[in-house]
Amino acid sequence: MDSEIKEEIPVHEEFILCCGVETQVLKCGPWTDLFNDQSANRPKLLIFVITGNPGFSAAYVPFVKALYSSVNKRFPVWVISHAGHALAPKDKKILTTSDDPNAQEVEDIYGLCGQVEHKLAFLRTHVPKEMKLVLIGHSIGCYISLQILKLAPELPLTFYYGTVDAWCPKEYYEDMKKDFPEGDIRLCEKKIPHAFVLGFHQEMADMVADWLKDDLSKI
């Protein structure tokens, strides 16, 4: 039954020219253009997922579908690929915007700093300033999210560490708890692996929705 429900959830694929590089964006839910949608039904919040490596947004489709369903389909869930990590099919139209102020200014777009600027440029040109934003980063996507949030250091953060994660061992969790005892720093109790998108998308989606429940109820 669960798989049948997820199949009914539409995912819209776009390739957008961002910082001069074609970029795959997958959009879960009926809202595909937040800037030009002036209807009363336009959502007030976007859940934005920044992938880990190798940066293929398609691997996150089961997770974004599950999360969209877990927040009762009230808010769009988008996932963005890293610059240079997804190529558009030859017959796929690549969308452009004339409002990207950083299109020619990002140096080393394929490097780490360039990838951060790439995500910032997308948010500036595709998400209205008045819209609330939930950033979800996985693996290197966490680092990128933290760099973005340096622009707004007062915003709340939740860190979630695995117990069976060779990329990010438990000692990192313990160090963070020691350095930031008042922080919202959590340790996984379900033995979910680092690559949660490969079989544990529903569990993670349910947890994220539960963490957001109180805040989303106020919107």
Q: What is the pLDDT of residues 49-96, one digit of tens each?
A: 999 998 889 999 999 999 999 999 999 999 999 999 999 999 999 988
- Whole-model pTM: value is 0.86
Unique residue bearing structure tokens 């009926």: 30
Among 81, 100, 118, 165, which one carries the catalytic annotation?
165
> Does residue 118 carry a catalytic annotation?
no
> Does residue 165 carry a catalytic annotation?
yes
Q: pLDDT below 70 — which residues of the chain?
A: 1-7, 98-105
Contact 84, 24 (CB under 8 A): no
Helical ranges in 47-152 per DSSP H:
61-70, 112-126, 140-149
Among 70, 139, 145, 201, which one carries the catalytic annotation?
139
Q: What pLDDT score does 100 carry? A: 57
- CATH topology assigned to domain 2-33+42-211: Rossmann fold (3.40.50)
For the chain, give every domain's residue range: 2-33+42-211
Collapsing DSSP states into helix, strand and coil, what is residue 173? helix
Q: What pLDDT score does 78 carry? A: 98
Contact 174, 163 (CB under 8 A): no
> Does residue 194 carry a catalytic annotation?
yes
CA dist., res. 128 & res. 133, Å (int): 10
